[in-house]
Amino acid sequence: MGRRLGKRIVGALAAAVVSVAAADSVQHTTAQSGLAGALAALGSAVTSPTAAAEAWGEMVQQDTQYAQTVDEDDIDSGFWTELPKASELLPTPTPAPESQQEQAPVVQPEGTLPIQEAHYEQGSGKLYVSCGAATIKNNTKLSSEEIAAQVGQPLPFSIEKNSSQPQVLIMHTHATETYQLDENLWYSPDFNARSTDTTVNMAAVGAEIAAQLNAAGINTVQDITLHDYPSYTGAYERSNATVRRWLEEYPSIKVVLDVHRDAIEYENGTRVKPVAEINGMKAAQVMIICGADKGGNLPNFKENLKFAAAWQNQMESMFPGLTRPVLFDYRYYNQDLTTGSLLIEMGGHANTLEEAKYSGKLVGQALAALFNGQ
């Protein structure tokens, strides 16, 4: 998707990695509080490796920063060339000799830019409407009362379980969007987070959602057409035609999910990865986008909004912290084609692929639970 800067950035950058030897083994610790902390932990490691590990654990801190929002969803651009993996852009570290008591701290490689973690809470205030365990951000001229009236309403469609005919279509207008392929706190500015490889782009994340739905008896199909390659311009027109072909062949399809990833970045180039810890693992936070009617382009928008509110509540109820507030705005995104058409952002370009795939699994589980409980 386009580039939207987050309002609340929580970052934690690794400042040092220190290795020490005690008896016949080497203890590895990671510091995040500077030289003074490194020296203190080094001394404790010599006398007590356990105490050293505890000392380092107490040094981890996070900072909160704020950013303005920039939206580039509708900006056309030229396309890109295939890029190497992030791991190929960074130097390979050389292991220190076993006899060496302390190795040099890991520093951000020259020419790279930082990545910061963030966790977005559910919203509060006049712009936000409650939908059970979660919220909807109202960026329209509709009143909060009009939006709230759709919350808790029955889904506008009925999913047939264990049907031989598809009930859900997963597709990707911007299929080539991808993620960091390695866990780092920096990235190369040459890495544009795009790939035609369907094992690492949005097709891989959509496959995780589809797998959970199919396992729950909800017949789901996925279209992995690269609508944004070789040209980014016109991607939505091409994906519109793709969805129409599926609906014509399979009128049984009730739900169409356009699966994307976000791109959250400061003006100084720092990229932000929205994360939540779910069951002890990092998941990329997700955000539903539901369009509102503007001049008659989305006559069924309230039906989509009912679906968005129910799905949002289900995800946040099952996996607290997984979602950012639903964005309800004057967007189109081909959401006139069914009464169950939504767009979902699976993390951002600073998240890792594994974080996004894990979120795909959780999102699919929540959607299956919603459909099976309808």
pLDDT at 107: 83
pLDDT in tens, 204-225: 999 999 999 999 999 999 999 9
Q: Is the pLDDT of residue 277 over 90?
A: yes
Kindly state whether residue 98 falls inside one of the protein's structural domains. Answer: no
In a domain, residue 141? The reply is yes
Average the pLDDT over each of 36-40, 114-118, 176-180, 241-245 and give the range with the smallest value. Answer: 36-40
In a domain, 133, yes or no: yes
The answer to whether residue 236 is domain-embedded is yes
Task: Note whether residue 299 is domain-resident.
Answer: yes
The verdict on residue 67 lying in a domain is no
Dihedral, 316, 117, 224, 194 alpha carbons, nearest 10: 160
- What is the number of domains present in the chain? 1
Q: How many residues does the chain have?
A: 374
Residue 24 placed within a domain: no
Most confident region among 23-37, 61-75, 272-286 by mean pLDDT: 272-286
Which stretch of 32-41, 165-174, 249-258 has the lowest confidence by average pLDDT? 32-41
- CB-count exposure of residue 296 (10 Å: 0-12, 13-18, 19+): exposed
Contact of 346 with 356, CB cutoff 8 Å:
yes
Those residues with Cβ within 8 angstroms of residue 86's Cβ, 6 or more apart along the chain or in another chain: 180, 181, 182, 184, 187, 188, 191
**CA–CA distance, 128 with 321 (Å, rounded to integer):** 17
> Over the stretch 150-199, which tens digit does the pLDDT of each residue have?
999 999 999 999 999 999 999 999 999 999 999 999 999 999 999 999 99
CATH assignment at residue 134: 3.40.630.40
pTM, entire model? 0.74
| Residue 90 covered by a domain | no
pLDDT single digits (tens) 323-344: 999 999 999 999 999 999 999 9
As a whole number of angstroms, the distance between CA 274 and CA 348 comes to 7
pLDDT at 102: 59
Domain of residue 195, residue span:
118-372
For all residues of the chain together, what is the average pLDDT? 81
From CA 108, how far away is CA 123, in angstroms rounded?
Answer: 34
Handedness of CA 187, 191, 195, 197 (dihedral sign): negative
- Backbone φ and ψ for 150, nearest 5 degrees, come out as -90, -20
346 has a pLDDT exceeding 90: yes
